[in-house]
Amino acid sequence: MTYTRIIGTGSYLPERIMTNAELEALVDTSDTWIRERTGIAERRVVAENQTCSDMAIEAARAALDSAGVAAADIDLIVLGTCTPDRVFPSNACLVQRALGVQQGAPAFDVAAACSSFVFALDVTDRFLRTGGARRALVIGADTMTRLLNWRDRGTCVLFGDGAGAVVVEASDTPGILSTHLHADGTQEDLLNVPWGPGLGYERLDETSGKISMRGNEVFKVAVRTLGRIVDETLAANGLKKEDVDWLVPHQANVRIIQATARKLGLPMDRVVQTVQHHGNTSSASIPLALDAAVRDGRIKPGDLLLLEAFGGGFTWGSALVRF
Ligand code: ACO
């Protein structure tokens, strides 16, 4: 039996830190409100000349270093994002060129909003388990600040920019134990970006290319849905809640993370939480959190990890991973 094992992690955050105090100058909000309702203390913002693929390249380099793998030994790149630099080439192709990954190796983007990394991991796992690739880069990267209306206090306080990556390898020993993906396109009015290039540039105005969200309603759906996927994932593997060593959740809001941890009966010291440092980085949030906890020694080889995400679409998914 062939499994997909994570053999290296990496991440990148832009240099520029934007504090809650700076947002107080832009919209009617307060540091106290943002911390209490979201847990976010600060976020990172890309430089004017910096793009999503630039961040992805840095995160991928760090993951390759930690795995001790050369870019030339990668034979697949799957990159989750909802903010690609351009319509095409895909960000995955830009990463392939920048890192010198084998020409001809497949490289493509996966778009499932904040769930994109879990979707990318699932797709990669299928490639590796069926012999379609041996060693892959799975990346989550997003420049969410480029989708923000800085006059909308309901969204501009929530998001930030970043990238995270893992190197995975086909192996005889278990790594990814199962993945679970879902989507429901019927509730797009709760969370969307109204414009995309397919609608034509004449429809693009100041707000149509920006995130539109009914936050309170999204919050309730997210909590309900993430609770369900925890049950689904454990049941599929015949495992109990207490078997999970670490919850590595999508980092959108501390209160959503706490609700999922409660559902699992996991104390918060078994939950990786980084949202306070970078806000909701969409596709990047899970690999960023994973990398942080691997590098500071919390997550150790052999630990059982539950990764879970929820995002626009709606999309949601999970992965159970023996690290
Ligand atoms: N500062 C101050 N007050 C604010 C702000 C702000 N930034 N934003 C909203 N408020 C006000 C509202 O106007 C409202 O005022 P009112 O009572 O006078 O009408 C009050 O705060 C409460 O608003 P709610 O929306 O009910 O606040 P809630 O506790 O739900 O928190 C939040 C809002 C933080 C957006 C929360 O709903 C949330 O996190 N939702 C999920 C959002 C999310 O995670 N989306 C992404 C998930 S999918 C993905 O990751 C793409």
For ligand 1, atom 14, the nearest C-alpha belongs to 154
Q: Which atom of ligand 1 is nearest to the CA of 155?
A: 35
Q: For residue 208, what are its two tokens?
A: 């149509």
Q: pLDDT tens-digit profile of 271-302?
A: 999 999 999 999 999 999 999 999 999 999 99
Look at the pTM and tell me if it is higher than 0.75: yes
User: Which pLDDT band, with edges at 50, 70 and 90, does 196 fall under?
Assistant: very high
How many angstroms separate the CA atoms of 263 and 231, rounded? Answer: 9
* Residue nearest to ligand 1 atom 3, measured at CA: 29
CA 272 – ligand 1 centroid, Å: 23
pLDDT tens, position by position, 249-276: 999 999 999 999 998 889 999 999 999 9
DSSP state letters, 255-280: HHHHHHHHHHT--GGGB---HHHH-B
Name the residues annotated as catalytic: 114, 250, 280
Q: In the prediction, which pLDDT does 68 show?
A: 98
Local structure of residue 51 (DSSP, 8 states):
-
pLDDT for 133-190, tens place per residue?
Answer: 999 999 999 999 999 999 999 999 999 999 999 999 999 999 999 999 999 999 999 9
Longest CA–CA separation in the chain, Å: 57
Cis ω before 194 (30° cut-off from 0): no
Phi and psi at 179, nearest 5°, equal -130, 150
Exposure letters 157-182 (e unless 16+ CB within 10 A, then b): bbbbbbbbbbbbbbbeeebbbbbbbb
pLDDT value of residue 264: 87
Crossing angle of helices 116-129 and 285-295, rounded to 10°: 80
Domains of the chain: 3-173 (3.40.47.10), 177-322 (3.40.47.10)
Of the candidates 277, 282, 253, the one whose C-alpha atom is nearest the C-alpha of residue 83 is 282
Task: Give the whole-angstrom CA distance, residue 170 versus residue 126.
Answer: 10
82, 213, 219, 226, best to mutate for ligand 1 pocket (most atoms within 8 Å of CB): 219
Q: Structure tokens of 284?
A: 């990047």
Dihedral sign from CA coordinates of 234, 292, 135, 83? positive
Phi-psi region at 8: left, alpha or beta (left = phi > 0; alpha = psi -120 to 50): beta
Coil vs helix vs strand at 89: coil
Which atom of ligand 1 is nearest the CA belonging to 154?
A: 8
Give the pLDDT band (50/70/90) at residue 303: very high
**Rounded to whole angstroms, how far apart are CA atoms 269 and 216?**
27
Residue list, ligand 1 pocket, CB within 6 Å:
29, 33, 37-38, 113-114, 153-154, 157, 191, 213, 215-216, 218-219, 222, 252-253, 280, 282, 310-312
Contacts of residue 183, defined as CB under 8 A and 6 or more positions apart, other chains included, come to 112, 313, 314, 315, 316
- How far is residue 166 CA from its own chain's centroid? 12
Whole-angstrom distance, CA of residue 48 vs CA of residue 322? 39
Mean pLDDT of 33-44: 98
